[in-house]
């Protein structure tokens, strides 16, 4: 039975982790998560994505029981697989919102970092506790976290392994929105829903421009942006958007996603 489900409703694909009690990440979760992310990418009925671990916990990290007996070769293969899975999630060419309740630790936080927007419950506790096990984050924590909150703050969390509550997460830019726990999924869906009627290819291009451009020198990033901009002139939505603007003003286009 799959421990990750993809549920589609109203243009939103919700990727739900369901491995009680703590959604620990093992090879089975990674395989199912990759399959769900691939389907969310391919399915044209899905226009935005929500990552969700349930009402009590997002994901408490890697399955240490599976990890503890590993040697170098096994650990290298395991973390490589998890890292590539998270890259598939991060590369979903649609807006992705993480709905974080309870714990998001280690690999759980690294998964949330793959999203474009993070909605935290007021009971959320997040962190990168790998240092307390004698290792470091291996699925994006040392790379995505400093790009989001800055290297100094990221080093504090990674060096100490401490857990951060929702209010501090908001202060340092790790959480975009904090709401009561009972409202997390609804708020995440509300944010994702803002984009379901938007121009899908332009949204994908915008995401690529920001994500890939941040890794390039400014001159290269500007060339990437210009190329993506020009490419959108081959889309139906560009025609619809500009014709609607000229006829009715901004914000009234009925996009097709093509």
Q: Which two tokens stand for residue 1?
A: 């039975």
**Whether the Cβ atoms of residue 3 and residue 18 lie closer than 8 Å to each other:** yes
How many of the other CB atoms lie within 10 Å of CB of 45?
12
How is the chain split into domains, by residue range? 4-193, 200-248
- Report the CATH fold assignment for 4-193: 2-enoyl-CoA Hydratase; Chain A, domain 1 (3.90.226)
Kindly name the residue from 107, 127, 138, 257 that is annotated as catalytic. 107
> Is 243 labeled as catalytic in the residue annotation?
no
Q: What is the pLDDT of residue 197?
A: 95
Q: Do domains 4-193 and 200-248 have the same CATH topology?
A: no
> Is 87 labeled as catalytic in the residue annotation?
no
Distance CA 171, CA 166 (A): 9
Q: What is the pLDDT of residue 87?
A: 97
Distance CA 14, CA 36 (A): 9
Distance CA 216, CA 219 (A): 8
Total residue length of the chain? 258
CA dihedral 90, 16, 204, 11 (to 10 degrees): 180
Q: What is the pLDDT of residue 66?
A: 87
Q: Which two tokens stand for residue 5?
A: 């489900």
Q: What is the pLDDT of residue 2?
A: 84
Q: What is the pLDDT of residue 150?
A: 97
CATH of 200-248, one of 1.10.10, 1.10.12, 3.30.360, 1.10.287: 1.10.12
Kindly name the residue from 24, 62, 112, 200 that is annotated as catalytic. 62
Between the alpha carbon of residue 97 and those of residues 120, 189, 226, the distances in Å are: 10, 8, 27
Kindly name the residue from 110, 115, 124, 205 that is annotated as catalytic. 110
Kindly name the residue from 130, 138, 188, 200 that is annotated as catalytic. 130
Residue 217: left if φ>0, alpha if ψ -120 to 50, beta else—which one? beta
Tens digit of each residue's pLDDT (9 = 90 or more) over 85-125: 999 999 999 999 999 999 999 999 999 999 999 999 999 99
> Is 110 labeled as catalytic in the residue annotation?
yes
> Is 62 labeled as catalytic in the residue annotation?
yes
**Whether the Cβ atoms of residue 5 and residue 87 lie closer than 8 Å to each other:** no
Q: What is the pLDDT along the chain (258 residues), one digit of tens a residue?
A: 689 999 999 999 999 999 999 999 999 999 999 999 999 999 999 999 999 999 999 998 888 888 899 999 999 999 999 999 999 999 999 999 999 999 999 999 999 999 999 999 999 999 999 999 999 999 999 999 999 999 999 999 999 999 999 999 999 999 999 999 999 999 999 999 999 999 999 999 999 999 999 999 999 999 999 999 999 999 999 999 999 999 999 999 999 999
């Amino acid at each position: 039975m799959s421990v990750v489900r993809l549920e589609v409703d109203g243009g939103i694909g919700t990727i739900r982790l369901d491995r009680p009690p703590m959604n620990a990440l093992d090879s089975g979760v990674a395989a199912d998560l990759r399959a769900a992310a691939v389907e969310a990418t391919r399915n044209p009925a899905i226009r935005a994505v929500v990552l969700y671990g349930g009402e009590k916990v997002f994901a408490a990290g890697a399955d240490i029981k599976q990890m503890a007996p590993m040697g170098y070769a096994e650990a290298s293969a395991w973390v490589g697989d998890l890292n590539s899975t998270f890259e598939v999630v991060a590369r979903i060419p649609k807006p992705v919102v993480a709905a974080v309740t309870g714990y998001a630790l280690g690999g759980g936080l690294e998964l949330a970092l793959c999203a474009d927007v993070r909605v935290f419950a007021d009971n959320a506790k997040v962190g990168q506790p790998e240092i307390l096990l004698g290792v470091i984050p291996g699925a994006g924590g040392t790379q995505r976290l400093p790009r989001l909150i800055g290297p100094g703050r990221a080093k504090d969390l990674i060096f100490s392994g401490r857990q951060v509550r929702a209010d501090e997460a908001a202060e340092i830019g790790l959480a975009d929105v904090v709401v009561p726990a009972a409202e997390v999924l609804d708020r995440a869906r509300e944010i994702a829903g803002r984009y379901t009627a938007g121009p899908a290819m332009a949204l994908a291009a915008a995401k690529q421009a920001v994500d890939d451009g941040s890794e390039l020198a400014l001159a290269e990033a500007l060339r990437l942006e210009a190329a993506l901009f020009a490419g959108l002139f081959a889309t139906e939505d560009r025609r619809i958007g500009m014709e609607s603007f000229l006829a009715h003003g901004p914000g009234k286009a009925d996009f097709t996603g093509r």
